[in-house]
């Protein structure tokens, strides 16, 4: 390595391979992306019997299309984070740090440096993305989905376009940002703008449509969404922009020792330097404070949610857990569809025996035979003493009306108030092992060892 | 062994040969500050023009500061005359960091100035500032290096495009030898991210010495070097002197100037109070001849002020500073004799061989006295 003086080698080494012992990092990244996709897919399958399947079938249905869609998200988030983490070595910020100044003074051609930097960054990111995609598809073959070849190319193209735009954006942003944190913030804002554009232009409707996504021509058909065409145009323009900007900037030295701790004010063609009262760096940072507060709220919220679920799970059918007269239930059958679906969070309001019931009301009552057995049924008819209730949906082999129940009015103690499908899906996830780890274990560790974790992160960063 | 080339072409690059170390050239004891060079570039003959790296005549800063009481605006520095020739190492310092930094930035073509003339070698100064010029190597940050490389690897990479006749293996061996000769062998195989910022600066300077820039400008006002680092710097500047490169180092460390530079410019409240050789500075401004240490320094001081007429005796805690303001130097032997004849036996006796910090203090005192008398 010591004899290598090629710029391509330098870029590879600097951006992707930190030491001689990690030369296989690129391969590892491909494998990591593929494996992460499968893990996310399997995690999502936990919530298969929930509203999520209905709302986002592209994430839940067992097919190669789902794997490709999840891979695109995983790769996009991974690369966006990687660009921010490896900002200094991956972007054109080297010009501001005068690293290129030294090279150009030592005989390196600045045009070559720019081109190698951009070419290496873009080609490696696309290469890793593409290889990872293929590996994800190969690994997914063990799940034995029906093969539809038409999905591959459009999915690959849409994901690659997103990743390409992200790397090009950070290359351009690095030219106009004085420091890493400014660049990071600008990059995040740029990505948010891209997401807003995607939503407005109907990009997500297009890429989640299995029928349209079998033909790559549909991806760039403005009739469905104008975003891919816009992104493709930007993908051509942004490198040119970055190249011209870098060319211009690399002709100049970036002054590091701007007179620090002072304010420069224009006065009669002269610049007057007054000592700054507060200095250049403020200790107080509003975004950092807001981020901390938000993080704290998320941590405390997820712990509180877990505690509620744990308390609720302690309750039994005879000793239900109620909050201000409302009884929550996670529905584990589909007999009340289409009013209440399986894994929904249904809430019942406590009622007394005088409450007037009418046909169609969904009620909560205990069985005549066993008071520990709780039923949720729809009222068929009701009089002062007796209530006749029945399920809305019967299992296939059971005849209609066979499971109808007639109970004393005083056994009915809850009236259906509403069902919360998303909350039901969240509870379903939290009740799984990975859900518990993510929403209880991690926040608790973060709360108790916050300072140690931050110190460790700083040490890692400094190293 | 190849001979060192003193020409400026990159083909004759002075890569990696061993450099003989010179002592700082001793000059005549005359103070040349009083006759500071005010010539412009046009006044020089052709031979002199070839050797000139920087020539400043009456340069005044564009930036101004305001006095808290009078609200009068004054330039950060004014009327600076400075001539830096090839092979010279200048140390610029000031009582105010901003003054020194601004001046350094003017010399490095990083900043405009209000009046006067600043000529940087044959190309002059450019209207467009901060543009990368072929004859100037400007260093004001330790971030120019790639933190994931080791020192030798960075050195090899940086010098990889310089035409030379050596194979990569020979080049590596010679660069390693160079690092060792400069006293940097201990970091040759260290990761750059593990180095101190000041060590990175030294490496940058060493790499800059391999470039074909004739003038190296270092704005190091924000850095503090350790004693061992200053000694490494002295070796590098000696090498640069041999390579006939002009070096301007701006620093707030007088010790660095004393050890690593042969000339100095000291600004006080924006005015140059000394501009000349460091050796002359000692003769001109450092009047401290001896420093004594004793638990009863006060009494000892009273006796010595009687025994040494025309001398100034300053007591600071247990330290006793003896300033020789007479025309007659007192040798160490004579001083010992004087002490023994009068039965004086201080606990520690130090002979002052010249300190830049003492000299600067003395210059400031003289400047203040002159101002008061005016």
Residue span of the structural domain in which A379 resides: 315-427
Per-residue pLDDT at A17 exceeds 70: no
Q: Are residues A236 and A145 in the same domain?
A: yes
Interface residue of A255, A279, A280 to substitute, partner B, most B CBs within 10 Å: A255
Q: Are residues A196 and A329 in the same domain?
A: no
Q: Enter the tokens of residue A158.
A: 């849409």
| Interface membership of A99 toward B (CB under 8 Å) | yes
Task: Indicate whether A297 belongs to any domain.
Answer: no
Which residues of B fall within a CB distance of 8 Å from A256? 140-141, 143
Which residues of A fall within a CB distance of 8 Å from B193? 463
B residues 27-56 closer than 8 Å to A (CB): none
Number of structural domains, chain A? 2
Per-residue pLDDT at A13 exceeds 80: no
* Residue in A2, A252, A273 closest to B153 by CB: A2
- Tokens 């404070």 belong to which residue? A289
Contact B62 A253 (CB under 8 A): no
Question: A232, A255, A278 — which closes off a domain?
Answer: A255
Q: Which of A419, A261, A276 is nearest to A338 (CA)?
A: A419
We find that the CATH architecture of domain B28-135+214-221+246-281 is 3-Layer(aba) Sandwich (3.40)
| Interface membership of B156 toward A (CB under 8 Å) | yes
* pLDDT at residue number A279: 43
Q: For A267-322, write each residue's pLDDT tens digit.
A: 555 566 665 544 444 455 677 778 788 888 888 888 887 777 776 666 555 556 77
Strands B89-94 and B263-268 come out as parallel
- DSSP for A156-211 reads HHHHHHHHHHHHHHHHHHHHS-SSHHHHHHHHHHHHHHHHHHHHHTTHHHHHT-TT
CA A365, distance to chain mean position in Å, is: 41
The pLDDT-based confidence of A186 (bands split at 50, 70, 90) is very high
The C-alpha of B65 sits at a distance from chain A's nearest C-alpha, in angstroms, of 6
Q: For B96-115, write each residue's pLDDT tens digit.
A: 888 999 999 999 988 888 88
Q: Are residues A47 and A145 in the same domain?
A: yes
CATH code (residue A327): 2.10.109.10
* pLDDT at residue number A324: 83
Contact (Cβ atoms closer than 8 angstroms) between residue B300 and residue B320: yes
Per-residue pLDDT at A348 exceeds 60: yes
* pLDDT at residue number A304: 82
Which residues of B fall within a CB distance of 8 Å from A255? 105, 110, 130, 140
Domain ranges of chain B: 28-135+214-221+246-281, 136-212, 287-353
Cβ partners under 8 Å of residue B363, min gap 6: B266, B268, B273, B274, B285
* Residue in B101, B156, B158 closest to A102 by CB: B158
Q: Are residues A207 and A63 in the same domain?
A: yes
Contact (Cβ atoms closer than 8 angstroms) between residue B182 and residue B236: yes
* pLDDT at residue number B226: 94
A401: left (phi over 0), alpha (psi -120 to 50) or beta: left
* Residue in A106, A252, A270 closest to B158 by CB: A106
Q: Are residues A63 and A155 in the same domain?
A: yes
Task: Indicate whether A273 belongs to any domain.
Answer: no
Q: Are residues A219 and A335 in the same domain?
A: no
Does the structure's ipTM exceed the value 0.85? Answer: no
Backbone phi, psi, residue B315, to 5°: -105, 130
Of residues B130 and A118, more confidently modeled: A118
Task: Indicate whether A235 belongs to any domain.
Answer: yes
Which residues of A fall within a CB distance of 8 Å from B153? 1-2
Preceding amide of A20 cis, omega within 30:
no
The C-alpha of B96 sits at a distance from chain A's nearest C-alpha, in angstroms, of 12
* pLDDT at residue number B235: 96
The C-alpha of A108 sits at a distance from chain B's nearest C-alpha, in angstroms, of 6
Question: A211, A235, A255 — which closes off a domain?
Answer: A255
Q: What does each C-alpha distance from A135 to A36, A77, A100, A171, A411 come to in angstroms?
A: 11, 18, 37, 28, 58
CB burial string A358-377: b at 16+ within 10 A, e below: eeebbbbbbeeeeeeebbbb
| Interface membership of B158 toward A (CB under 8 Å) | yes
The C-alpha of B295 sits at a distance from chain A's nearest C-alpha, in angstroms, of 43
d(CA B372, CA B366): 10
* Residue in A10, A256, A272 closest to B64 by CB: A272
Which residues of A fall within a CB distance of 8 Å from B172? 2-3
Q: Are residues A31 and A145 in the same domain?
A: yes
Task: Indicate whether A435 belongs to any domain.
Answer: no
Cβ partners under 8 Å of residue A155, min gap 6: A65, A68, A69, A71, A72, A133, A207, A213
| Interface membership of B132 toward A (CB under 8 Å) | yes
* Residue in B144, B169, B221 closest to A98 by CB: B144
Task: Indicate whether A350 belongs to any domain.
Answer: yes
d(CA A6, CA A366): 79
* Residue in A98, A251, A272 closest to B66 by CB: A272
- Tokens 């046909």 belong to which residue? A359
CB atoms within 10 A of CB A229: 14
Q: Are residues A205 and A331 in the same domain?
A: no
Q: Which of B335, B288, B329, B287 is nearest to B307 (CA)?
A: B335
| Interface membership of A104 toward B (CB under 8 Å) | yes
Q: Are residues A331 and A238 in the same domain?
A: no
Q: For B131, which residue in chain A has the nearest alpha carbon?
A: A252
Q: Are residues A247 and A320 in the same domain?
A: no
* pLDDT at residue number B30: 40
| Interface membership of B368 toward A (CB under 8 Å) | no
Task: Indicate whether A440 belongs to any domain.
Answer: no
Interface residue of B66, B131, B143 to substitute, partner A, most A CBs within 10 Å: B143
Task: Indicate whether A363 belongs to any domain.
Answer: yes
Q: Are residues A361 and A242 in the same domain?
A: no
User: What pTM was computed for the model?
Assistant: 0.74
Output the tens digit of pLDDT for each of chain B's 374 residues. 333 333 333 333 334 333 333 323 333 434 444 445 666 666 767 667 778 889 898 899 988 887 767 778 888 999 999 999 999 999 999 998 889 999 999 999 888 888 888 888 776 666 777 888 888 999 999 999 988 889 999 999 999 888 887 888 899 999 999 999 999 999 999 999 899 999 999 999 999 999 989 999 999 998 999 999 999 999 999 999 999 999 999 999 999 999 999 999 999 988 999 999 988 888 777 778 888 988 888 989 999 988 888 888 888 888 888 888 887 888 888 889 989 898 888 988 888 877 888 888 888 888 887 777 76
Task: Indicate whether A152 belongs to any domain.
Answer: yes
| Interface membership of B197 toward A (CB under 8 Å) | no
Q: For A45-74, write each residue's pLDDT tens digit.
A: 888 888 888 888 888 888 889 999 999 999
Contact A98 B130 (CB under 8 A): no
Average pLDDT along chain A: 82
């Amino acid at each position: 390595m010591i004899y290598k003086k090629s710029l391509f080698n330098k870029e590879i080494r600097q951006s992707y391979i930190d030491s001689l012992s990690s030369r296989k990092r690129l391969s590892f990244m491909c494998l990591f992306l593929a494996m992460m996709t499968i893990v996310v897919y399997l995690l999502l399958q936990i919530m298969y019997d929930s509203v999520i399947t209905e709302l986002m079938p592209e994430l839940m249905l067992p097919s190669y299309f789902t794997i490709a869609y999840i891979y695109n998200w995983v790769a996009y988030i991974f690369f966006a984070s990687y660009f921010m983490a490896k900002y200094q070595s991956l972007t054109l910020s080297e010009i501001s740090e005068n690293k290129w100044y030294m090279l150009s003074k030592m005989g390196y051609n600045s045009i070559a440096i720019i081109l190698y930097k951009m070419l290496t960054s873009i080609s490696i990111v696309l290469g890793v993305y593409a290889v990872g995609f293929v590996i994800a598809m190969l690994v997914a073959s063990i799940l034995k989905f029906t093969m539809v070849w038409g999905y591959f190319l459009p999915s690959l193209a849409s994901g690659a376009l997103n990743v390409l735009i992200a790397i090009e954006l950070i290359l351009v942003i690095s030219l106009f940002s004085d420091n890493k944190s400014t660049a990071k913030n600008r990059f995040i804002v740029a990505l948010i703008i891209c997401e807003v554009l995607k939503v407005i232009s109907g990009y997500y409707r297009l890429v989640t449509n299995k029928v349209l996504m079998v033909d790559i021509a549909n991806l760039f058909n403005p009739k469905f969404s104008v975003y891919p065409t816009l992104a493709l145009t930007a993908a051509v323009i942004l490198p040119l922009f970055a190249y011209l900007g870098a060319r211009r900037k690399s002709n100049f030295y970036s002054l590091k020792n701007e007179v620090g701790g002072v304010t420069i004010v224009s006065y009669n063609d002269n610049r007057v330097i007054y000592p700054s009262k507060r200095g250049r760096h403020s200790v107080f940072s509003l975004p950092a404070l807001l981020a901390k507060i938000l993080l704290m709220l998320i941590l405390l919220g997820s712990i509180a949610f877990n505690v509620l679920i744990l308390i609720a799970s302690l309750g039994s059918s005879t000793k239900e857990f109620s909050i201000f007269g409302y009884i929550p239930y996670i529905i584990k059958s589909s007999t009340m569809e289409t009013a209440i679906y399986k894994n929904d969070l249904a809430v019942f309001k406590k009622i007394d025996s005088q409450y007037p019931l009418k046909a169609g009301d969904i009620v909560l009552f205990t069985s005549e035979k066993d008071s520990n057995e709780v039923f949720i049924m729809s009222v068929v008819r009701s009089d002062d003493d007796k209530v006749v209730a029945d399920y809305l949906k019967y299992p296939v082999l059971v005849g209609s009306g066979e499971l109808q129940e007639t109970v004393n009015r005083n056994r009915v103690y809850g009236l259906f108030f509403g069902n919360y499908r998303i909350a039901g899906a969240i509870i379903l996830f939290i009740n799984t092992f990975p859900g518990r780890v993510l929403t209880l274990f991690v926040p608790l560790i973060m709360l108790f060892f916050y300072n140690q974790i931050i110190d460790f992160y700083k040490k890692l960063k400094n190293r | 062994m190849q001979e060192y080339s003193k020409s400026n072409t990159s083909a004759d690059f002075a890569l990696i040969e061993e450099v003989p170390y010179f002592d700082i050239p001793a000059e005549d004891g005359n103070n040349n500050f009083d006759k500071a060079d005010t010539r412009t570039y046009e006044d020089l003959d052709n031979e002199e023009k070839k050797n000139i790296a920087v020539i400043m005549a009456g340069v005044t800063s564009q930036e101004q500061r305001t006095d808290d009481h009078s609200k009068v605006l004054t330039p950060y520095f004014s009327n600076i005359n400075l001539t830096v020739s090839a092979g010279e190492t200048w140390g610029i310092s000031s009582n105010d960091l901003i003054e020194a930094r601004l001046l350094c930035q003017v010399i490095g073509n990083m900043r405009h100035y209000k009046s006067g003339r600043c000529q940087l070698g044959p190309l002059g100064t450019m209207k467009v500032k901060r543009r990368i010029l072929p004859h100037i190597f400007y260093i004001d940050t330790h971030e120019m290096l790639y933190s994931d490389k080791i020192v030798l690897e960075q050195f090899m990479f940086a010098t990889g495009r310089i035409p030379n006749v050596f194979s990569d293996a020979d080049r590596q061996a010679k660069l390693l030898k160079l690092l060792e000769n400069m006293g940097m062998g201990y970091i040759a195989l260290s990761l750059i991210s593990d180095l101190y910022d000041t060590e990175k600066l030294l490496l940058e300077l060493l790499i800059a010495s391999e470039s074909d820039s004739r003038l190296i400008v270092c704005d190091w006002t924000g850095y503090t070097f350790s004693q061992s680092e200053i000694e490494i710097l002295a070796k590098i500047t000696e090498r640069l002197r041999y390579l006939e490169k002009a070096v301007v180092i701006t620093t707030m460390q007088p010790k660095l100037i004393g050890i690593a530079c042969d000339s100095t410019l000291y600004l006080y409240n924006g005015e140059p109070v000394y501009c000349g050789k460091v050796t002359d500075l000692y003769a001109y401004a450092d009047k401290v001849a001896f420093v004594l240490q004793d638990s009863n320094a006060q009494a000892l001081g009273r006796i010595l002020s009687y025994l040494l007429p025309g001398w100034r005796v300053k007591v600071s805690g247990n330290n006793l500073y003896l300033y020789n303001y007479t025309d007659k130097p007192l040798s160490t032997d004579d001083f010992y004799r004087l002490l023994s004849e009068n039965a004086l036996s201080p606990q520690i006796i130090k002979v002052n061989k010249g300190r830049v910090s003492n000299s600067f203090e003395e210059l400031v005192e003289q400047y203040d006295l002159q101002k008061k008398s005016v």
